[in-house]
Amino acid sequence: MTALRTLRERATLLRLACYVGLQTFALAAFADLPTQADPDSGAIRDGNIIDAVKFYAKDIFLAAGLIIATVVFILVTTNAIAVYKEIRDGRRTWGDLGMHAGAGAVLIIFVVFLLTQAQDIII
């Protein structure tokens, strides 16, 4: 019984020591916060929240455009791989693969062109 009591006391002291140690390190965390980084679209004037939101929105739209282009590229690639699999199974011909790859390349070029035009309009 005394051994169990001693273990409980040690555990309590260990918890107390950890708590005090964490509190000591937490006091050091009250340092100055870093300044807000300017977005890539432009510099923010001091205290102008509307400019900040506008510039960050531009950056978000451009990142979304890159994501859309990536998704289109992945879709075209998976379509070409699926057609190649059907060629190996004997259900399609090599001309089908060329047609799908050509249409996919045109689609990717068209999406990149539209995203470039949208970037010029947004910025």
- Is 44:52 a contact under the CB 8 Å cutoff? yes
First and final C-alpha spacing in the chain: 75
- pLDDT, one tens digit per residue, over 60-118 is 888 888 899 999 999 999 999 999 999 999 999 999 999 999 999 999 999 989 888 88
Q: How confident is the model at residue 22 (pLDDT cuts 50, 70, 90)?
A: low
Tokens for 20, please give them. Answer: 């005090």
Q: What mean pLDDT comes out for the span 2-12?
A: 71
**Whole-structure pTM value:** 0.59
pLDDT at 59 over 80: yes
